[in-house]
């Protein structure tokens, strides 16, 4: 399992390079199976979730080679319809294979997904959309069995701009006959990256990044090279690391536009942020201003994946802050761990009220999910004394070298294998 031990109090200083985005590469890895073609992917982050995707690709019969941050996939030999249950349970994003498998071979069998424990996270929107595209779906004994004699493009109105459902529909739409239109699509930048990858392979998709996406089905995809976009949430996490330690960090390989909502809130907290074309410098304030209201929202609103990290920051603000979590139902598990470190936080359903305290004190804490785990490490950077964060495997799902990068920036931090 492993744990991270941080001795708080060091000001972070230096440069950090941001890796490829987890939430971009996961759907792209699913997309690699659609065409029976070869894909060479660059800037692939070395993460536990990526490892699981590779295991799924291997189990389906695909050939995968992975060296440093380059991955090569040949999906021609794919010869299975079932995604192994133990892998699906480990990673919710594996449901993204549904659309891709229907496109490729018209059939997929998958168990109900696992993933972070942050609310019920249903998949009704995915299933409804795939049915509208002509898939027959049978749900029994915890398994979902989808089959089709050929998907047919149609207009799909999403009740909510779900990221995963939007991606699943795109993947299904590529192999469908005719045109699929998604209305109220999610507008996350990772969906643009998926569109870029697929269009380079010969797909005909337009509109990603807006709420209407059009996919014209194609018969064939060709070999493709793709450079994964940088991870805006990892970048945001390092921005908070600077903010919480009164640090001065240069963050390289970022897309500034993707960080606007995060930057706006960190400026409100008192940070100075200077941007360049592909990098930014963030200087943490002496005193952290409270923030009257942060509401998590679909992109371009404030990302739910940054909610835990900003909560850690506001817990040592000079007043009271309020966070409203509108995306997920049960995403405040890190609050109780921050309270163990001396934070004054009260949660009421989807609202958290954070009364800033003068200082946090090191404590033994447990990561309950990916971003919550990162938030505890951030809190530890500012806390007095030693903070232990257990269950680091959650953090490894989404951060490549978290403790090493923080160490290079001057943190007193180590990872201990269990
Ligand atoms: C993706 C991201 C995740 C991020 C989230 C929101 C990946 C791999 N993961 O997750 O890091 O936190 O977007 O930005 O890209 N919902 C339904 N029915 C559905 C689908 C979703 O009710 O069929 C609900 C969910 O329970 C949740 C909300 O919609 O409350 C948002 O979920 P969604 O946008 O689908 O997130 P994911 O794609 O799972």
DSSP string, 316-358: TBSSEEEEEE-S-SS--HHHHHHHHTT-EEEEETTEEEEE--S
Mean pLDDT to the nearest integer, 109-113: 87
Per-residue pLDDT, 120: 57
Mean pLDDT to the nearest integer, 38-61: 97
pLDDT band at residue 287, thresholds of 50, 70 and 90? very high
| Protein residues with CB under 6 Å of any ligand 1 atom | 23, 26, 93, 119, 121-126, 160, 162-165, 186, 190, 304-305, 327-328
Residue nearest to atom 39 of ligand 1 (CA): 164
Share of the chain above pLDDT 90, in %: 93
Phi, psi of 364 (to 5 degrees): -90, 120
**How far apart are alpha carbons 46 and 42 in whole angstroms?**
11
Mean pLDDT to the nearest integer, 382-396: 96
Q: Write the Ramachandran bin of 386: left for phi over 0, alpha for psi from -120 to 50, otherwise beta.
A: beta
Per-residue pLDDT, 115: 46
The sign one gets for the Cα dihedral 108, 110, 115, 121 is positive
Mean pLDDT to the nearest integer, 6-34: 98
Mean pLDDT to the nearest integer, 239-250: 98
Angle formed by the axes of helices 260-268 and 232-244, to 10°? Answer: 10
Specify the pTM: 0.97
Whether 19 contacts 400, CB under 8 Å? yes
CB atoms within 10 A of CB 396: 20
pLDDT band at residue 121, thresholds of 50, 70 and 90? low
Single out the residue of 78, 105, 123, 110 nearest to residue 172, CA to CA: 105
Whether 358 contacts 316, CB under 8 Å? yes
Report which DSSP code applies to 229: P
Share of the chain above pLDDT 70, in %: 98
Single out the residue of 336, 250, 354, 345 nearest to residue 293, CA to CA: 354
Task: Kindly give the distance from the C-alpha atom of residue 407 to the centroid of ligand 1, in angstroms, as a whole number.
Answer: 32
Domains and CATH numbers, the chain: 3-18+230-416 (3.65.10.10), 22-227 (3.65.10.10)
Alpha helices (H) along 76-146: 85-90, 97-105, 124-132
Mean pLDDT to the nearest integer, 334-349: 97
Supply the mean pLDDT for the chain. Answer: 96
Whether 340 contacts 409, CB under 8 Å? no
Single out the residue of 42, 142, 13, 23 nearest to residue 91, CA to CA: 23
Mean pLDDT to the nearest integer, 385-414: 96
Mean pLDDT to the nearest integer, 211-215: 98
Atom of ligand 1 nearest to the CA of 305: 12
Residue nearest to atom 12 of ligand 1 (CA): 305
pLDDT surpassing 90 at residue 9? yes
Q: Which range is least confidently modeled, 117-121, 261-265, 342-346?
A: 117-121
Phi, psi of 68 (to 5 degrees): 50, -115
pLDDT surpassing 90 at residue 330? no
Task: Kindly give the distance from the C-alpha atom of residue 146 to the centroid of ligand 1, in angstroms, as a whole number.
Answer: 21
Per-residue pLDDT, 119: 53
């Amino acid at each position: 399992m492993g744990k991270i031990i941080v001795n708080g109090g060091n000001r972070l200083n230096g440069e950090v390079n941001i890796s490829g985005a987890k939430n971009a590469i996961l759907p792209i890895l699913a997309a690699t199976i659609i065409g029976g073609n070869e894909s060479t992917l660059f800037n692939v982050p070395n993460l536990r979730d990526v490892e699981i995707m590779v295991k799924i690709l291997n189990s389906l019969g695909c050939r995968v080679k992975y060296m440093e941050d380059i991955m090569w996939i040949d999906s021609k030999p794919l010869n299975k319809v079932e995604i192994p249950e133990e892998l699906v349970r480990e990673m919710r994003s594996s449901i993204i294979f549904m659309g891709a498998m229907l496109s490729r071979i018209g059939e997929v069998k998958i168990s109900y997904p696992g993933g972070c424990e942050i609310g019920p996270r249903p998949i009704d929107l995915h299933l409804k959309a795939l049915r509208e595209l002509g898939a027959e779906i049978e749900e029994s004994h915890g398994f979902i069995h989808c089959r089709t004699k050929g998907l047919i493009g149609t207009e799909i109105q999403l009740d909510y701009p779900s990221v995963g459902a939007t991606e699943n529909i795109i993947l299904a739409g590529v192999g469908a006959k005719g045109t699929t239109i998604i209305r109220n699509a999610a507008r996350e930048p990772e969906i643009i990256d998926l569109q870029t990858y697929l269009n380079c392979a010969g797909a005909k998709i337009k509109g990603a990044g807006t709420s209407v996406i059009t996919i014209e089905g194609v018969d064939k995809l060709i070999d493709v090279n793709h450079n994964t976009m940088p991870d805006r949430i990892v970048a945001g996490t390092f921005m908070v690391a600077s903010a919480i330690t009164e640090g001065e960090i240069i963050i390289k390989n970022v897309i500034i536009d993707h960080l606007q909502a995060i930057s706006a809130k960190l400026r409100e907290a008192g940070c100075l942020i200077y941007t360049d074309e592909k990098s930014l410098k963030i200087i943490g304030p002496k005193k952290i201003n409270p923030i009257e209201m942060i509401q998590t929202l679909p992109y371009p609103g404030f990302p739910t994946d940054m909610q835990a990290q900003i909560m850690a920051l506001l817990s040592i603000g000079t007043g009271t802050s309020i966070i409203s979590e509108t995306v997920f139902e049960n995403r405040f598990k890190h609050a109780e761990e921050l309270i163990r470190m001396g934070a004054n936080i009260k949660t009421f359903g989807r609202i958290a009220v954070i009364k800033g305290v003068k200082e946090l004190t090191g404590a033994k804490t447990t990561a309950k999910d990916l971003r919550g785990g990162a938030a505890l490490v951030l809190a530890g950077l500012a806390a007095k004394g030693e903070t232990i964060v257990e269950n680091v495997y959650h953090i490894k799902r989404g951060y490549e070298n978290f403790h090493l990068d923080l160490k290079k920036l001057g943190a007193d931090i180590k990872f201990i294998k269990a």
